[in-house]
Structure 1
Amino acid sequence: MRTTNMQGTVTLVGAGPGDPELLTLKAVRAIRAATVLLVDDLVGDEVVALADPGARIVHVGKRGGCKSTPQAFIEKLMVIAAREGETVVRLKGGDPFIFGRGGEELEHLRAAGIEVRVVNGITAGLAAVSSLGVPLTHREHAHGVVFVTGHAKPGERGVDWARLAATACDARLTLVIYMGVSGVEQIAQGLLAGLPAATPAAVIQHASLPQQRHVACTLGELARTVAREGVASPAVIVIGDVMSGLAAAARGQQLSRVA
């Protein structure tokens, strides 16, 4: 219900990668308690359906490479609703603080004097590899993991892929690249400056959803594989030795088809 005679609150809720069963209990409680929900484009209908029937649902599409609701407008909506006494949930795909612009929203709301809570969600990079039975870290293969965006802010140079590759090679890191499919050729070319072409790689599309699919290859074949298989967003790219088992299985399947 709407809060009366007092200012409302805003909760940034991570809706996870898509599968509603991956929501946390805390996220479900927040969604059900909301009187206003501002919903990202990648949040599934089954998640939104958890909201109270009387809640106001506002879809504020945010997807890389597509026409999106301006961030400033979303932040303005949250402030207005909270000042009207609403219990606001900003429902974001994945985790609010991993490429979800949750940090910007938190700063803006606090500057406006709005109480803000954060509920974490499972990020797509974790869900994607877990669904394939692959770890992000492994004592024998990877001592750490880097989450990085392949979509630079307009006007900025973006990631130095060659330098990142050299660091990943030296430190034995798994690379998980979000929003990188559209620029996969440039990304792969940069990474090849510091990683062997034979480094295992995979691209997972629609992580955790019934339509999930993936392709396994090597870094040297990554761009060609994405183009050939027609992989599109939303997808994550995973590069590193932890993917070696998946790549080997894919090669075995290809050989069996040929036979």
Structure 2
Amino acid sequence: MIICIGAGPGDIGYLTQRGAELIRDADVVAGFDAVVNVVRSLIPPGAEIVTMGYRNQVERLAQVALAHHAGKRCVVVFMGDIHFSGFQYLERVERACGHEVETLPGISSAQILASRAKVCFDETTFITFHRRGDLDPFKRHLVHVLQDARNAIVIPCPWDEARSFMPRHIAAYLLENGVSPEHPTEVWENLTRGEAEWHGTLAGCVDREFTDMSIMLIRTRRPMPSQIEPPEGK
């Protein structure tokens, strides 16, 4: 067995019960160092732990695939939910194994933010720049999302300076492409611990620095009115 699970947004309290059960029963638990550290207290004493970073992930996933094909119960843990920002990592797991693998969704930072900020997913689009490859199609999509009067929940790209697309870069790009500077904007850092939150406008975000552990909400300037029935007597 090999299964990929979403381990929640950096807090073991947001791990699903099924995910915790799979980790406790695993022979091998693998993932990026920071993610494995979140669930380390659940890993059984006899289990093999395979940690990795961006530079050695292909090599380490090949090691996990060998254990899987040898009949061991393998769990690969992802931060948040697999299908939010982890889809490229899932591709790497499946490439290493040579076949599709089972997945178990987790709680994402986007879900936590939607709850904290009281925005409806039906009226909101989620976009992640935390990915390899060409970001331009996703940048253009973000412009269209805001033009269509939808909220946008955005995960920035925090990598090297050449590719970095952090909240200030996102704000500058949107302003350069005709998006109103008056969009209400929020940036949350270390979301599950509630350490920092910034509220302002898109224009005010341009000159602000945020850490890699950031998620961004850009609110529509034309919120959808309530569609439930009016109160009695009105």
When the two structures are superposed, what TM-score results if normalisation uses the length of structure 1?
0.72
Work out which of the residue numbers 34, 41, 47 in structure 1 matches 2:26.
Answer: 34
Q: Which residue of 2 aligns with 1:216?
A: 199
How many angstroms does 1:99 deviate by?
A: 1.3
The residue matched to 2:83 in structure 1 has which SS? Answer: coil
Q: Deviations over 1:53-89 (max 9, x none)?
A: 111112113xxxxxx2434224312211102221110
- Indicate whether 1:16 and 2:8 are aligned: yes
Structure 1, 24-33 or 35-44: larger mean CA deviation: 35-44
Cα distance change, pair 14–42 in 1 and its aligned pair in 2 (3 A): same
Q: Partner amino acid for 1:158? A: D
Q: Is the CA contact (8 Å cut-off) linking 2:171 and 2:205 kept in structure 1?
A: yes
Q: 1:50 aligns with which of 26, 42, 46?
A: 42
- 2:153–2:217 Cα contact (<8 Å) kept: yes
Deviations 1:115-166 (A, max 9, x none): 7221111111221342xx312327xxxx532222234535x35345355323
Match among 72, 79, 92 for residue 58 of structure 2: 72
Which residues of structure 2 form unaligned runs of 5+? 159-163, 224-234
Residue 145 of structure 2 corresponds to which residue in structure 1? 167
Does the CA contact (< 8 Å) of 1:11 and 1:89 recur in 2?
yes
* Deviation (angstroms), 1:190: 2.2
Secondary structure of 1:86's counterpart equals coil
* Matching residue of 2:127: 148
Cα distance, 1:19–1:241 mapped onto 2, change above 3 Å? same
Which residue of structure 2 aligns with residue 117 of structure 1?
Answer: 102
Question: Unpaired segments of 5 or more residues in structure 1?
Answer: 1-8, 62-67, 245-259
One-letter code aligned to 2:183: T
Q: Distance in 2 between matches of 1:177 and 1:215?
A: 14
Aligned match of 1:6: none
Aligned position for 2:91: 104
Answer yes or no: is 1:203 the counterpart of 2:195. no
Distance 1:220 1:44, change over 3 A: farther
Equivalent in the alignment of 2:173? 190
Identity level (%): 24
CA change 1:161–1:39 in 2 (3 A) is closer
SS in 2 for 1:11: strand
Q: Contact conserved, 2:50 with 2:60, CA < 8 A, in 1?
A: no
1:199 Cα shift?
Answer: 0.5
2:191 corresponds to 1:234? no
Give TM-score scaled by structure 2 length.
0.79
Q: 1:14 corresponds to which letter in structure 2?
A: G
How many pairs were matched up?
214
Q: Distance in 2 between matches of 1:163 and 1:122?
A: 24
In structure 2, how many angstroms separate the alpha carbons of the residues matched to 1:166 and 1:118?
31
Q: Which shows bigger deviation, 200-209 or 188-197?
A: 188-197
**Distance in 1 of aligned mates of 2:32 and 2:195:** 19
- The answer as to whether partners of 1:99 and 1:149 remain within 8 angstroms in 2 is yes
